[in-house]
Amino acid sequence: MAGFKSFIIESILNVQKTYVAEGIVHIEDLPIEEFLFEVENFNKMIATQKLDGANLRVGFDEGGKFYTSRESKGGNKFYKSSDYPEDVTAYDGFRAAHAALEKQKSKLSKILSKGQAAEIEVLFKRQPNTITYGKDGLNYIAFLRMLATPEDDNPDQGKIKELNDALENDIVTVNSKVTDTEDGENLIVSKEDIRWKFITPEKVNADAFKTVNLTKEISALKKFLNTENKKAAKLTNGEVKTNYDVMKSAKRDLKDEREKIKDEVQNKYKLVIKDTLLNTFVRKIKPSIQDSELHPDEDLGIEGVVFLDPVTQKQFKIVDKDVFTTINSFNQEVRSNISGTVKSADPLAPLANRGGIFGDAKIRISKLFGMDGLSTASSVKKTLRKFMGDTPEETVVNMAKSLNQVNFQATKKKTEAVIFNTLKELQSALKDFKENSDKYKKKLSTGKVIGYSPEIKKRTLLTFADTKRNLEKLLEQIKSAKNIADLIVALYGRQIKDIHSESKDE
């Protein structure tokens, strides 16, 4: 296996400038040489708990102005907490986190220069996603890594430690808007004092590594890689001899054999090693900032562990991917069928892919205009840009002119009917959820059976109430529309503003 050592030395030399841009790879997706190196040396790595919150970035723009943003998700920069849309309940946590970070702006500005930004994880409320947090009744902002920007394409990752040292254990209280519901129908909007603590992901205790012994599994993998591959040797007149040689060969005649060997390495060796790590290591770790009192459906451990090689600065992660994908899909299932991104306008596609009950209504309404591209989220902005003028108002006028053959009164009446029927459909779904949510169960591959935790039930009710509010608001706008331009503003006004805002940023 001489090839392993030479590859690793070359990899160490080349990886230092690229690891941040590449993101954090799953351990089973590492090239075979790197995989073997990491699993044989992982007890020498720096390990931290993978957090399960919402991604945000914080920084100072090229002019030195403080901002937060969801740019990694296609969003814009927000310079004030009030810039986050008030009518989007999902932004409550980001709005409050922005206010907390803004209170620490003077400390941040001493570390982050103009044009620099850091990636952070926002852990708002007890169960932001799958994992339960909320220790000491706090919300958390975790500094993850420095981000490459046009002004700083090779960021200094040491600044994350500086940020942590400057803000560690600081608790900041902000008064911010919080949206809630008790019945899934009526939204309760209030201002609350929200307490935030600044952290970095918790390091995994080195003693936890002692429970892992991979000698048997690694030996089996090496033996397989060193095994002579008679088929390859015959096809290449002895030039390619072992299974490892097959994996590294680019010869066209070995394509099928190469795929076969790679598949066997992945499923019979890599994933077996990963599963051993999950069972003997990852699944035994509890979130360090988890509330001490847990409902049975909240006691799920951690999602995974992130490893940092202190020599190469390369990162990889061991994530309970199958289990937590299953949990997350289970938790999101009802919400996805209420309201979400419209990925397909195909009436035979699953309801969640059509954006749920609300998204399906949007599809039906868009068809009333007889214009392709207004149905799915991926095509709406592209379609609107065809009519783009110098201002949002001009864009609306341009679009309205192209729809001069559309009967305004008939379209308005049909749109009202679609929304009215959707409200009835939503009410029926809410009744079903209230009557049956205690019966929702999911058996995981680990054998554990989970249901909906109190927090997941509450967030699902909030989605019902939020969707009802949005439908009623849209119905009100449609009813007051005087012409086709008013209908366009009601249905696509936000996206039109977005494309003009994006155009300014460019």
Q: Which of the four pLDDT bands, split at 50, 70 and 90, describes residue 501?
A: confident
What is the spatial distance between Cα 154 and Cα 19, in angstroms, rounded to a whole number? 11
Q: Which of the four pLDDT bands, split at 50, 70 and 90, describes residue 12?
A: very low
What is the spatial distance between Cα 396 and Cα 85, in angstroms, rounded to a whole number? 21
Which amino acid, 69? S
What is the spatial distance between Cα 435 and Cα 418, in angstroms, rounded to a whole number? 26
Query: What is each CA distance from 61 to 57, 69, 109, 500, 502, in whole angstroms?
Result: 12, 11, 11, 20, 16
Supply the pLDDT for residue 504: 65
Judge contact between 63 and 76, C-beta under 8 A: no
What is the spatial distance between Cα 118 and Cα 69, in angstroms, rounded to a whole number? 11
Supply the pLDDT for residue 11: 38
What is the spatial distance between Cα 122 and Cα 108, in angstroms, rounded to a whole number? 17
The pLDDT tens digits of the residues spanning 209-239 come to 778 899 999 999 999 999 999 999 999 999 9
The pLDDT tens digits of the residues spanning 387-425 come to 999 999 999 999 999 998 999 999 999 999 999 999 999
By the 10 Å C-beta count (0-12 exposed, 13-18 middle, 19+ buried), 91 is classed as buried
Supply the pLDDT for residue 74: 64
109-113, 271-275, 295-299 — which is least confidently predicted? 295-299
Judge contact between 250 and 3, C-beta under 8 A: no
Residue 506 in this model has a pLDDT that exceeds 90: no
In angstroms, what is the C-alpha Rg of the chain? 26
Phi, psi of 292 (to 5 degrees): -75, -25
The pLDDT tens digits of the residues spanning 346-393 come to 999 999 999 999 999 999 999 999 888 898 988 999 999 999 999 999
